[in-house]
Structure 1
Amino acid sequence: MSEPIYFEDVKPGDRIDFGPLTVDREEVIGFAGQYDFQPFHLSDEAAAETHFGSIVASGWHTLALYMKMFLTEVQKRGWQEASLGGIGIDELRWLRPVRPGDTLRGTGEVIETTASRSRPEMGIVKSKVTLFNQRDEAVLTMIPITMTRTRPVA
């Protein structure tokens, strides 16, 4: 495992690539059946009656797939140890449908870091995230806002 990456180590312009992950049809249907049971996420026949034309993943499922890919990568790099969780997402956009069989990958770039004035043990990091499909088409963009632990005082 790598050394932890603390708030002081993170700079605007830092970039991470993550993925790939292929979207599984049964997972699309299973997620939708439990959390987003709109017909176009559950049935090809229902989806054929919409502008989608065929079954598509829930946007919330797409976000869950992002988390899986992103965490898999950051845990390899030692970034997880200093994570204190998220506080929100700005500018979330679902740009294109994600379909079973699509292979997703993503990029994240730090766009802003702010030391907390009230909590010296943490800082706030904003990143621009884009997910792409196998045709290099952007399917999702967002700006997650996360809390990151500062380096412990020796």
Structure 2
Amino acid sequence: MTVFFDDIDRWDGESYGTYEVTETEILDFAERYDPQWFHTDPDRAADSIYGDLIASGWHTAAMSMRLFVDGFLAETATLGAKGLDHLRWPKPVVPGDELTIHSTIHGVDEASSTDDYGVVRWGVETTANDGAKTVLAIEALVLVARE
């Protein structure tokens, strides 16, 4: 069933996921996109303030997006996004973390809506290890088609 803009409030407060983070994936992403030592050097990272290799925040955002698409957006009449607000990485992601996301509708921007679509302010929180720590908090402005 495709979820359209006018039905979106029924999907408030949903959780999706899981995604297991591996050291290999952290290293591969970091080498390609964010080659800072705490993402690329496990030995040096073990002696850092983090105590372990950590995923790039951008990697955390990408993994979260995958969970959101697989869990919900693939079944939604989305048309992309206008942007992101309030991006935070409260705790780092480390190898072995298992991620899940929880989405909450923060509002609908009627001023940006048209007859063809509406704009939904979606809060997404990514947690690791059954909610033991929050690793990403973001608000996305998503365009959703009207039926």
TM-score normalized with structure 1 length: 0.87
Q: How far apart are the structure 1 equivalents of 2:10 and 2:90?
A: 25
Aligned to 1:93: 88
1:120-152 per-residue CA deviation (whole Å, 9 max, x = no partner) reads: 21110001111111052211111111111111x
Which residue matches 2:43? 45
| 1:140 pairs with 2:136 | yes
TM-score, normalization by structure 2: 0.91
Say what the alpha-carbon RMSD is for the aligned residues: 1.8
Instruction: List gaps (5 residues or longer) in structure 2.
Output: none
Q: What SS does the corresponding residue of 1:28 show, helix, strand or coil?
A: helix
* Amino acid aligned to 2:85: D
Distance change >3 Å, CA 21–CA 118, structure 1 → 2: closer
What's the counterpart of residue 126 of structure 2? 131
Structure 2 contact 37–45 (Cα < 8 Å) conserved = yes
In percent, how many aligned pairs have the same letter?
31
Q: Aligned equivalents of 1:117 and 1:19: distance in 2?
A: 30
Structure 2 residue 21 is matched with structure 1 residue 23: yes
Structure 1, unmatched stretches of 5+, are: none
Deviation at residue 15 of structure 1 after TM alignment: 2.1
Q: How far apart are the structure 2 equivalents of 1:5 and 1:12?
A: 9
**1:116 and 1:122 in contact (8 A); partners too:** no
CA 1:53/1:7 → structure 2, altered by over 3 Å: closer, same or farther?
same
Aligned to 2:66: 68
The answer to whether the Cα contact below 8 Å between 2:78 and 2:143 also exists between their aligned partners in 1 is yes
Moved over 4 A (4+): none
Give the Cα separation in 2 of the matches to 1:61 and 1:130: 15
Query: What secondary structure, in the 3-state scheme, does the structure 1 residue paired with 2:3 have?
Result: coil
Bigger CA radius of gyration: 1
Counterpart contact for 1:19–1:69, Cα < 8 Å: yes
